[in-house]
Structure 1
Amino acid sequence: MNKDKRYEIFRRWREANPHPTTELNFSSPFELLVAVTLSAQSTDKGVNKATDVLFKVANTPQAILDLGLEGLREHIKTIGLYNNKAKNVYAACQMLVDLHGGEVPDDREALEALPGVGRKTANVVLNTAFGHPTMAVDTHIFRLSNRTGIAKGKNVVEVEKGLLRHIPKEFMVDAHHWLILHGRYICVARKPRCGACLISDLCDFKEKNL
């Protein structure tokens, strides 16, 4: 795929959705960090249902610690893998209080040092909370990038590097959201909705479902 096609793809997405954002509910970097940590192998809808209640009770690291591990578990027990996620969130809160004054650091290394926070979660927080031009590659973006030809790679790191290299700079801050929304609702895994796709004429996918 050449740079002109890539530019037109992102131009169309921007025109259709000028201000994309995550579907996770949050009102602070900390709430976003917790929501993204809880979202692994869970739906955003399911996470929002739990955090909408949790954040009314505790939406700072210290408030989570005051709630206690058992109290946290009780609030997120509807989410898959909640036991392990509760342990990670609780331990991360302790580190945020002890090492960062209760604030979420605007720094990749510090974020990835937190329990339960890997590269993808750190990228989401850096991009969505702090406006960094980073790229969090999940299963949707990995599939979409390879299928369309925007950025091909054998693993998520290769795709991430390809996207950072090929996406025009003016689109980078919002690119993650356009990609994930397109992969989640249009370029779905089993039967892509090519007939409803804004970029079907630009995409390299040979088996279009028109």
Structure 2
Amino acid sequence: MAKQLDYHTIREIFTRFRDAEDAPKGELHHVNAYTLVVAVALSAQATDAGVNKATKALFKKADTPQKMLDLGEEQLIEHIKTIGLYRNKAKNVMKLSRILVEEYGGEVPNSRAALQSLPGVGRKTANVVLNMWWRHPAQAVDTHIFRVGNRTGIAPGKDVDAVERAIEDHIPADFQLHAHHWLILHGRYICVARKPKCGACLIRDLCPFEDKTL
């Protein structure tokens, strides 16, 4: 774990990220807040590309909680059976859809506590939805962000909660909205786990990682 970088270094890092892509977006396909919740819930231990492939036809049939209930669990399974843990995920999608219909009038709530009360929706999923749909500066820490935060010293922490707090505490406010997208994309495509692509890295000269690759 690298030491926490200073404010000026972090500002320079995110200035470079912004200059390269000023409005980064998540890669999960969705058409509304509900389909975003479902897509993020399905993405646990799965790739965004795999989820997008499975939900392409699904969301044409079921893009609201009521339509998902009408579709039924068995039909949902047929659409998502290429995704890991699909049976358990299908049960959670049906349960959360019923709760949204019965308790929220078919609308997705915009509070973290309400989102986390839904089956299959943890803090990370809630933060993704808050950030991507309602543009709250919420930080959804996944394995990529955890790795980048610790490797670079941008947001070091022993667990995902500590990394989330470090992002909130140390990344300047004007970068908070897009911070988690810049970090996740950097971790997914450049600062990868086994052999980071340091030669193509925008922040190579600012990063304290000792085992840089050529």
User: The TM-score by the shorter chain falls in which range?
Assistant: over 0.9
Measured in 1, the distance between the counterparts of 2:167 and 2:140 equals: 10
Measured in 1, the distance between the counterparts of 2:27 and 2:95 equals: 25
Normalising by the residue count of structure 1, what TM-score does the alignment of the two structures yield?
0.99
| Identical amino acids, percent of aligned pairs | 63
CA distances 1:43-66 after superposition (whole Å, capped 9, x unpaired): 111100111110011110000000
CA distances 1:133-182 after superposition (whole Å, capped 9, x unpaired): 01000000000000000011100000000011011111111111000000
2:177 aligned with 1:173, yes or no? yes
Residue type of the alignment partner of 1:35 = A
Give, in angstroms, the shift of residue 92 of structure 1: 0.3
Runs of 4+ in 1 over 2 A off after TM superposition: none
| Runs of 5+ unmatched residues, structure 1 | none
Give, in angstroms, the shift of residue 79 of structure 1: 0.9
Measured in 2, the distance between the counterparts of 1:162 and 1:204 equals: 17
2:203 aligned with 1:207, yes or no? no
Give, in angstroms, the shift of residue 91 of structure 1: 0.2
Normalising by the residue count of structure 2, what TM-score does the alignment of the two structures yield?
0.97
Measured in 2, the distance between the counterparts of 1:125 and 1:204 equals: 32
Measured in 1, the distance between the counterparts of 2:10 and 2:31 equals: 32
Measured in 2, the distance between the counterparts of 1:87 and 1:47 equals: 16
Match of 1:157 in 2: 161
| Runs of 5+ unmatched residues, structure 2 | none
CA contact (8 A) 2:144 2:187 kept: yes
Equivalenced residues, count: 210
CA distances 1:169-204 after superposition (whole Å, capped 9, x unpaired): 111111110000000000000111000000011111
CA contact (8 A) 2:31 2:63 kept: no
Measured in 2, the distance between the counterparts of 1:86 and 1:133 equals: 29
2:36 aligned with 1:71, yes or no? no
Give the aligned CA root-mean-square deviation in angstroms: 0.6
Match of 2:197 in 1: 193
Secondary structure of the 1:116 match is: coil
Measured in 2, the distance between the counterparts of 1:69 and 1:31 equals: 16
Residue type of the alignment partner of 2:61 = V
Residue type of the alignment partner of 1:93 = S
The structure 2 residue matched to 1:3, chosen from 4, 7, 19, is 7
2:99 aligned with 1:95, yes or no? yes
